[in-house]
């Protein structure tokens, strides 16, 4: 089985989420705060000058980056924003890893080479503390797009692979899942590519059962679950589909497989929630 990579679209690096391509008119431009215009896939970015507060390794090919800044419109786990090099035309879209209200803002960023469609992330993942950048306001409605999104739901299953754990972390730490029975299925190719392992114990204290899954365990000494997150969840089974919701972020192949699993279990499509 081969999982499909995240989709890339012109002028935007889609990291940690999958969005529809912007319309030709959707361009990242500096605009006054009062003049936000809704474009093809979201509001026109309103840029502010910021800088990297800290940067550290967060797994093979991944960097944890913090930015100490106030962020307009950030109120739900799963939201994202745009970041670009000062003066650049192309921007990357990055899910916010920290919870609303937490400071500083935290991001988990995959090292990505530039392409005709994307600026890549090397300019940012290779930066040092103090490096200048331009950042937009928060975008999207997060995973829970309405206040009653989890009404009647007692069990929430979370699915993430790779850097897709970033917005899942945000919703876990936001408190939005308090009182629910929550299980996280988190996948990576190898243990070295799995981020936030130091947070698993804290998540367990918040009531989240964490099931890490490694798809390429050969030679790593891994003794936990192997394969793909959707297969591990399917084998475990869903006890009460009528009271279960699924939140997911990761590769397209994973998303398709999880939607199929949900349909087989009798979970309606509107309870399979993504952060876009």
Q: What is the DSSP letter of 43?
A: B
CA distance 209 to 251: 22
CA distance 252 to 81: 20
pLDDT beyond 70 at 16: no
Average pLDDT over residues 23-46: 46
Average pLDDT over residues 135-162: 97
pLDDT beyond 90 at 8: no
Helix 229-236 to helix 252-265 angle, to the nearest 10 degrees? Answer: 10
> What percent of the chain lies above the pLDDT cut of 70?
85
Q: pLDDT at position 276, please?
A: 85
First-to-final CA distance of the chain: 26
Average pLDDT over residues 17-30: 37
Measured at the alpha carbon of residue 80, what is the angle toward residues 150 and 110, in degrees to the nearest 5?
Answer: 115
Tell me: the pLDDT tens digits for 171-204? 999 999 999 999 999 999 999 999 999 999 999 9
Residue from 134, 129, 139 nearest 119 by CA? 134
Tell me: the pLDDT tens digits for 226-253? 999 999 999 999 999 999 999 999 999 9
The structure's pTM equals: 0.85
* Higher-scoring residue by pLDDT: 265, 11: 265
User: Which of 17-31, 60-74, 104-118, 257-271 has the lowest average pLDDT?
Assistant: 17-31
């Amino acid at each position: 089985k081969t999982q499909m990579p995240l989709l890339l679209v012109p002028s935007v690096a889609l990291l940690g989420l999958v969005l529809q391509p912007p319309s030709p008119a959707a361009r990242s431009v500096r605009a006054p705060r009062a003049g936000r215009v809704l474009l093809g896939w979201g509001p026109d970015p309103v840029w502010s000058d910021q800088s990297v507060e800290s940067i550290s390794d967060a797994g093979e090919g991944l960097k944890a980056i913090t930015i100490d800044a106030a962020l307009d419109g950030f109120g739900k786990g799963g939201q994202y924003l745009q970041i670009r090099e000062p003066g650049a035309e192309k921007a990357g879209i990055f899910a916010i890893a920290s919870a609303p209200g937490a400071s500083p803002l935290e991001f988990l960023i995959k090292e990505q080479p530039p392409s005709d469609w994307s600026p890549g992330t090397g300019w940012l993942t290779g930066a040092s503390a103090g490096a200048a950048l331009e950042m937009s306001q928060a975008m999207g409605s997060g995973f829970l797009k309405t206040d009653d999104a989890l009404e009647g739901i007692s069990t929430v299953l979370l699915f993430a692979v790779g850097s897709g754990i970033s917005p899942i972390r945000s919703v876990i730490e936001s408190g939005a899942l308090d009182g629910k029975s929550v299980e996280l299925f988190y996948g990576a190719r190898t243990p070295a590519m799995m981020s936030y392992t130091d947070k698993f114990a804290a998540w367990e204290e918040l009531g989240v059962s964490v099931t890490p899954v490694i798809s390429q365990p050969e030679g790593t000494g891994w003794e936990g679950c192997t394969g793909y997150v959707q297969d591990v969840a399917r084998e475990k089974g869903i006890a009460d589909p009528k009271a279960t919701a699924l939140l997911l972020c990761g590769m397209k192949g994973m998303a398709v497989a999880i939607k199929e699993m949900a349909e087989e279990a009798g979970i309606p499509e509107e309870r399979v929630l993504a952060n876009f």
